[in-house]
Amino acid sequence: MSKFSIREIASSSLLLKVLSYFSLSLFVISTHLRTKTLKPWSDEIVSLVSNLNFYYSNFNFIGPNGSQYFKSYIPGLTAGPISAIGGIVGWTFSENIYILRFSNLIYLIIISTGFSFFVFKTFNIDLKNNFLLLNTLLIFTLTNTSWWYSVLYLLPETICSVIFVNSVFLFSKKRRLSLFLMSFCVFFGDFLTVLMFAGFYFATIFYERSLTKIINDIFYAFFPVFLWSYLVVTFSEYNLDQYLIEYFEHYFKHPSGGEVNFSIKAIIDNFNNSEVSTWGVADILRVLVSPIIFIFVFYRSEKIHISNKLGKLQIIFPLLFIFGWFWLLSPAKSIIYSGLFTTYILILNSYILIFSRYTNKINLFASLLIFSFYLSSIYIVGIYIFLTFVIINIKDTIKSRAVFVSFLLVFLLLNQVNTIIEISNMPTYEIDLSSCKISLTSNECLDDYFGR
């Protein structure tokens, strides 16, 4: 199979433009409809109120009155201040929960698009249709993982993954900014990102073996820690020792975290007692199989421009560290946490698909197969896989690849049409936040949200 790159096609195809814009329009419709189908959930109101208090009440990071989180900077507030900025902006104009949810999705898309634009400019990548095609795939990524709608619930997993993967890309060009952003995700977003950060930096130490670089990195990697500690000491009743003890107890001794025990019995027990038994086949393929296939794809693909100065372990270790924790150590295996690594692999796979030159059909097929796991219908998945296999083997020319890429976008369109149909048949929920608009500290705020 001769080498080809999809970016060679993306630079001039009008059809790709039309399909991309149409696909993006359907994404907007389906996600807007999804905001009305989400049940009231304690994590959402806790994230909303704590984030509103942080931004509107002098950095008083505190949950709703009447909840266990009604204490400033309590470590149980795991959705950090970057998790709901879109909803916070929306609050300025409306207390409608559906508008707040959709605003948070727009915030996520702005972050994703802004970072991809910054990466393109940093590495002098020609925008043209490459940027449009990439962001069509990225928005598919952001709205099709198993628990993608956590962002509508104002939770940080997808947001942190987007920031983290782009920070990895930027590391070779903007090392200090990259380290700051990775650490910022940990303490102002989702602490579980620390596993990905540890994996990345462990691989970096392995490749560089430079004590000088480690020393130079410390300030930028730890500045978010110092900033968060300053906020805790200044705006809460904790002293630093008390907070660190409670923080450690929450994150390292919490039942959902799991003990560091790699015995076969412990791993089997964790699996048997977890949520996995309630998952469907699609969830298993997305959360267990697709990361494994991605590792195969990544190791067999030629390096793309944005990662050519990174070692392969710097890309793989962030995935392996959190994937290994999830499947080997975590007793709960909550599918919400999988958003950190499934988003990570889909973003990377999107870049590889567009910018890598494939030298064999197996690797190309595997890369495309990953996307199939995130489609919304078993029938669409089956047809997609069959036709992908056929098209790859029909003719080995650039022209046939243009047909193929258009075919890929057509299936994204079909997927969104099916998603809209499915969402239209879901029940909707009326949620009232008017009392929260009057006062975030009122007892009625929590009660009205749950309709009590």
Q: Please give the pLDDT value at position 102.
A: 96
Query: Is 80 exceeded by the pLDDT of residue 418?
Result: yes
Among the listed residues 295, 282, 272, the one whose alpha carbon sits nearest the alpha carbon of residue 381: 282
Alpha carbons 137 and 365: distance in angstroms, whole number: 17
Token pair listed for 361: 């059909």
Among the listed residues 186, 237, 206, the one whose alpha carbon sits nearest the alpha carbon of residue 61: 237
Alpha carbons 316 and 325: distance in angstroms, whole number: 14
Among the listed residues 99, 37, 38, 22, the one whose alpha carbon sits nearest the alpha carbon of residue 421: 37
Cα first-last separation, the chain: 63
* Mean pLDDT confidence for 63-68: 88
Per-residue confidence at 175, pLDDT binned at 50, 70, 90?
very high
Query: Is 60 exceeded by the pLDDT of residue 1?
Result: no
Give the mean pLDDT of the chain: 88
The helix/strand/coil state of 369 is helix
Among the listed residues 212, 240, 209, the one whose alpha carbon sits nearest the alpha carbon of residue 73: 240
The kind and range of the H/E element at 187 are helix 175-188
**Residues 6+ away with beta carbon under 8 Å from 147:** 157, 335, 336, 338, 339
**Which residue is it, tokens 């329009």?**
25
Per-residue confidence at 325, pLDDT binned at 50, 70, 90?
very high
Whether the CB-CB separation of 415 and 376 falls below 8 Å is answered with yes
Q: Please give the pLDDT value at position 5.
A: 55
Each residue of 119-155: pLDDT tens digit? 999 998 887 778 888 888 999 999 999 899 999 999 9
Each residue of 13-34: pLDDT tens digit? 777 788 888 888 889 999 999 9
The helix/strand/coil state of 358 is strand
Per-residue confidence at 449, pLDDT binned at 50, 70, 90?
confident
* Mean pLDDT confidence for 188-199: 95
